[in-house]
Amino acid sequence: MIRTSNIGYCTHKQWLFRSGPKHVFPVALVMALFGQPNGLYLYFPMYQVSITIIILFFIFSIIVSKMVRGNLTIPNINLSLPLVLFLVFSCFSLIYAPNPAYGARILFSMFFKVLFFFGIVTVCNQVKDLRSLLGIITLLGVVFSIQGLLLVGGVSLFGLQASGRINEEVGFGLIDNNYALYNYGLLGFAKTYIFIGDITIPRCQSMFTEPGFFANFLELSIFSTLAWTHMQRTLHKGKCYAIVGIQLLALFFSLSTAGWFSVGTSFFVYALIIAREQLSKLFMYVFYIMFFVSLCFIILYFSFPSSLDKIYQVTWVEKFESQQRGTTSAEQRVDSINNTLNLFAQKPLFGWGIAQMAVKIGTVTNNVLVQTAGELGIVGLIIYITMLATIFKTMLDSIFITHKRKHLSIALPSYWIICCVIAFLTHFMFLSTNWSFFYWIALAILYVNRRLLTSEELYAASIYKKNELHT
């Protein structure tokens, strides 16, 4: 037993085992957000090893802290049981998988992200932790957006040329990718371009390996920014509009139809949530969004008269309409879904094994529910739908709590956090990125916020106290 006379030793031990994980967490979060599908590891091949070590150290520090306090348990959230069952069944599926080595590698990546999810939920137990988490994501969202927009402007206005081209197959992370990227150094990458007369405009993707992945990240950063700005009430409104506007502009130039649709769906859900309570604010948001979008189109039309036609070609014709069968993005996605459904019909109960659709059809299935059915069969699909049901229940609980207590200081950040998760769930119908770091960070934010909502006085007082200190 440690006596009270050993005050110095107790204080040091408390910092090491209780505060230590919180000091490591910001570094681990930044490292995770720079991981695949961010392409930093293409510049620094050892980055994947570094991020693995840092995050494992973060998880280890949490485990040691909980062991010292005698409460080494999984966080008590409704997602824990179905998530553990899903991972256990995925491990079982390796027994009959055609390529168990590939499945094991992807499964390790899944375990890694789930551990990070539980780590965030464990460490972020105060309002200031949630505010810091949202602030870091906001900062990186602005940085990545500026980086991508500078590349768009540099290439289209000043004819900036790529310094090289990356052509290599990388087999670590979500899937194996045969990258074909134009390298612009500090300004990131470009993969596809649109041509308007003599002007070349790259699709905005910052340092991400696909414009769609960049749009997927922006779904996290845009709604995290909106939640953070409502918690940072001392931040000037002009600055709030600026940092959100920069990210929306980057999303626009990503020309990701799925990204646009997902973010638009989430704004629509937000409008439905606040319609009864803040009708005037609803009309204000609709006005600002319509004004922003209209301004972008007007500037493009008068600056580059043929630009709107090119955007239409990239975001609609090339995806949904073509004279030649099987050449559009939508047709390729439908083909991958049909191929997966055919494989599911052959093994409907247990599927082909985790991550085996990439082995059987040569690509991922661009719909998370169909891919889960093909890989893990009816059993795995039921477990996965149960996971989704618990997530929706958590979102509904958050809405009911805020509606009941009617404190806008906790309601508006909660609504934006819910919209963040909805954007990801919508995007999964077009692109299977449900095992990316972004998704699990978004879920962690949802569950941290839900836990804080049960202590309304602490949540509201923390925000108001911060405001009073700055007045």
pTM value is: 0.83
The least confident of 58-72, 80-94, 120-134 is: 58-72
**In the structure, what pLDDT confidence band is assigned to residue 227 with cuts at 50, 70 and 90?**
very high
Q: What does the pLDDT read at residue 106?
A: 87
Q: Any residues with CB less than 8 A from the CB of 387 and at least 6 apart, and which?
A: 79, 82, 83, 86
Q: Reply yes or no on whether the pLDDT at 146 is more than 80.
A: yes
Residue 212's pLDDT band (cuts 50, 70, 90): confident
DSSP notation for 86-116 = HHHHHHHHTTT-SSHHHHHHHHHHHHHHHHH
Lookup: tokens for 452: 């804080």
Tell me the β-bridge partners of 169: 178
pLDDT at 84: 92
Residue 351 scores a pLDDT above 70: yes
pLDDT tens for 31-77 read 888 887 888 888 887 888 888 888 888 888 888 777 776 665 667 78
pLDDT band at 5 (very low <50, low <70, confident <90, very high): very low
Give the DSSP H or E segment for 209.
Answer: none
pLDDT for the residue 174: 40
pLDDT digits (tens, 9 = 90+) for 413-426: 889 999 999 999 88
How distant, in Å, are the alpha carbons of 25, 53, 257, 344, 351 from that of 335? Answer: 42, 39, 19, 14, 19
How far apart CA 427 and CA 425 sit, in angstroms, is 6
Residue extents of the structural domains in the chain: 24-58+85-469
**Tokens read off for 164:** 């090289």
Cα–Cα dist 246/382, whole Å: 40
Answer yes or no: are the C-beta atoms of 446 and 111 closer than 8 Å. no
Instruction: Classify strands 193-196 and 177-183 as parallel, antiparallel or unpaired.
Output: unpaired
pLDDT at 6: 40
Structure tokens at 414: 């909660």
pLDDT of residue 19: 62
The DSSP code sequence of 215-284 is HHHHHHHHHHHHHHHHH-TTS-HHHHHHHHHHHHHHHHHHT-HHHHHHHHHHHHHHHHHHTTT-HHHHHH
Pick the residue with more confidence: 291 or 104?
Answer: 104
For the stretch 251-287, pLDDT in tens is 999 988 888 889 988 988 888 887 655 555 655 666 6
Tell me which residue has tokens 């047709």: 331
